[in-house]
């Protein structure tokens, strides 16, 4: 395959169903889905639009809300056998007090479905996530470590809030699992809960792939490379990168709402690079250069150093005008800027993301925009207020230290 590698996913935006606002956030909460596989856009929109526009989905429809009224696991969740952190198997009722309200709410809401579909279930010791699926249990345990590590990495940027707060659902399926009735059963369940339309569900059953529903928040991820052949030396897919990146995007949407795409993807790259020292999740179809997966710190440091002589260079404009999810200079520079702020100025970064989300809500007050809708001039001004204060030499020095 030479220096090319076929990417395993492509991302499209779906139509959304307007929901109730977040508890403490001014942004409008909207249920939408992003399909991470090569699906015709018309078919995807058709599937999403089968959800009635009047069906305002409440938190309890998907997750069980923000944990209020779920002081303990009950019913099927209490008797559910699950993995907790490094413990191989434990009944839910034995660890109920160790779980956050959001995780208890999610388990109460999904335990019966997990039992019916014979899904293994695991929860981390720190991350507000529930991992379910049909795959090797050792892999499930490894995934729990990934979500805990991602949670720790993002803890200062996306702190626990007092408002709307749902645990992220992570569904992992291996090849045998995708061929089982549980695969179809899971999509039928999401249709029943009005998270996706019937057409989208039928397409995913017919042509399996990855599906991310950031506003639920949840994502469904096959555990193997469906596009290439790793045994033949193809280096196109790494599950840990996919899990960390998708979880980060879900956390950002859950805490803040919509922000510019280069920032949302850039934060996913912060998680990938810090945890795995590589980048694998791209918003592209077809082939990407194998070298695009590696050496982002070195390449970005060089790009920043070369730009020192360019008077027109602006971190803010890089972030606003770049193409999201691509191994290109604007996205890479934005990743470096976000990594710097994550580790040097996390509270300022959180404030910036919240302000950007409010700009989006102003631009799309009813939640119909298919992507970030903040006013361009106000967005640039806001980005420049924060990014413009970063000393470029300090940023270059920081990037050189990123492993």
- What per-residue confidence (pLDDT) applies to 304? 96
- 79-83, 158-162, 234-238, 348-352: lowest mean pLDDT where? 158-162
At how many degrees (to 10) do helices 261-276 and 329-344 cross?
70
Question: What is d(CA 59, CA 29) in angstroms, rounded to the nearest whole number?
Answer: 10
- Write out the chain in H/E/C secondary structure: CCCEEECCCCEEECCCEECCCCCCCCCCCEECCEEECCCCHHHHHHHHHCCCCCCCCCHHHHCCCCCCCCCCCCHHHHCCEEEECCEEEEEHHHHHHHCCHHHHHHHHHHHHHHHHCCCEEEECCCCCEEEEEECCHHHHHHHHHHHHHHHHHHCCCCCCCCCCCCCEEEEEECHHHHHCHHHHHHHHHHHHCCCCCHHHHHHHHHCCCEEEECCCCEEEEECCCCCCCHHHCCCCCCHHHHHHHHHHHHHHHHHHCCCCHHHHHHHHHHHHHHHHCCCCCCCCCCEEEHHHHCCHHHHHHHHHHHHCCCCCCCHHHHHHHCCCCCCCHHHHHHHHHHHHHHHHCHHHHHHHHHHHHHHHHHHCCCCCCCCCCCCHHHHHHHHHHHHCCCCHHHHHHHHHHCC
- What per-residue confidence (pLDDT) applies to 230? 55
- 170-179, 305-314, 375-384: lowest mean pLDDT where? 305-314
pLDDT at 33 over 50: no
* For residues 155-179, average pLDDT: 86
- What per-residue confidence (pLDDT) applies to 6? 35
pTM, to two decimals: 0.85
Mean pLDDT of the chain: 83
- 21-30, 84-93, 329-338: lowest mean pLDDT where? 21-30
pLDDT at 144 over 50: yes
* For residues 338-354, average pLDDT: 96
* For residues 132-137, average pLDDT: 95
User: pLDDT tens for residues 73-123?
Assistant: 999 999 999 999 877 789 999 999 999 999 999 999 999 999 999 999 999
Q: What residue spans define the domains of the chain?
A: 9-223, 287-401
Query: In this predicted model, which residue has the larger pLDDT, 240 or 311?
Result: 240
User: pLDDT tens for residues 203-218?
Assistant: 999 999 999 999 899 9
- What per-residue confidence (pLDDT) applies to 234? 63
Which tokens hold the place of 319? 């972030």
pLDDT at 219 over 50: yes
Instruction: Respond yes or no on whether the N-terminal peptide bond of residue 217 is cis (omega within 30° of 0).
Output: yes
- What per-residue confidence (pLDDT) applies to 85? 83
Chain-centroid distance of CA 271 in Å reads: 11
Q: List the one residue out of 243, 195, 215, 240 whose CA is nearest residue 51.
A: 195
- What per-residue confidence (pLDDT) applies to 229? 58
By percentage, how much of the chain surpasses pLDDT 70? 78
Q: What's phi and psi for 170, nearest 5 deg?
A: -120, 120
The band of 27, judged by pLDDT with boundaries at 50, 70 and 90, is: very low
* For residues 275-297, average pLDDT: 87
């Amino acid at each position: 395959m030479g220096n090319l590698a076929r990417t395993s996913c492509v991302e499209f935006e779906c139509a959304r169903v307007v929901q109730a606002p977040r508890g403490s956030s001014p942004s409008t909460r909207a249920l939408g889905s992003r399909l991470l596989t090569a699906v015709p856009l018309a078919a995807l929109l058709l599937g999403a639009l089968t959800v009635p526009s009047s069906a305002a989905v409440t938190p309890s429809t998907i997750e069980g809300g923000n944990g209020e009224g779920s002081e303990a696991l009950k019913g099927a969740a209490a008797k559910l056998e699950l993995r907790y952190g490094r413990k191989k198997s434990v009944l839910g009722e034995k660890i109920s007090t160790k779980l956050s309200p959001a995780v208890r709410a999610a388990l109460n809401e999904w335990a019966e479905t997990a039992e019916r579909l014979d899904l293994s279930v695991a929860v981390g010791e720190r991350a507000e996530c529930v991992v379910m699926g049909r795959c090797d249990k050792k892999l499930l345990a490894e995934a729990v470590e990934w979500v805990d590590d991602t949670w720790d990495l993002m803890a200062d940027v996306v702190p626990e809030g007092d408002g709307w707060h749902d645990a992220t659902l992570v569904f992992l399926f291996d090849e045998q699992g995708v061929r089982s009735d549980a695969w179809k059963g899971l999509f039928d369940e999401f249709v029943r809960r009005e998270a996706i339309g019937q057409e989208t569900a039928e397409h995913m059953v017919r042509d399996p792939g990855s599906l991310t529903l950031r506003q639920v928040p949840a994502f469904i991820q096959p555990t193997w490379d469906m596009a290439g052949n790793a045994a033949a030396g193809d280096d196109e897919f790494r599950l840990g990168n996919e899990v960390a990146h998708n979880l980060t995007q879900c956390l950002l949407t859950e805490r803040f709402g919509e922000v510019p795409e280069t920032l949302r993807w850039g934060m996913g790259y912060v998680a990938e690079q810090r945890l795995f020292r590589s980048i694998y999740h791209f918003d592209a179809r077809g082939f990407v250069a194998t070298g695009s997966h590696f050496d982002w710190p070195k390449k970005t440091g060089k790009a920043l150093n070369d730009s020192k002589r360019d008077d027109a260079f602006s971190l803010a404009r890089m972030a606003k005008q770049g193409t999201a999810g691509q191994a290109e200079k604007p996205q890479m520079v934005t990743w470096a800027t976000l990594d710097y702020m994550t580790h040097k100025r996390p509270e300022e970064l959180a404030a910036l993301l919240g302000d950007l989300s409010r700009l989006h809500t102003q631009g799309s007050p009813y939640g119909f925009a298919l992507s970030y809708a903040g006013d361009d001039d106000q967005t640039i001004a806001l980005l420049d207020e924060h990014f413009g204060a970063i000393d470029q030499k300090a940023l270059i020095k920081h990037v050189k230290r990123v492993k």
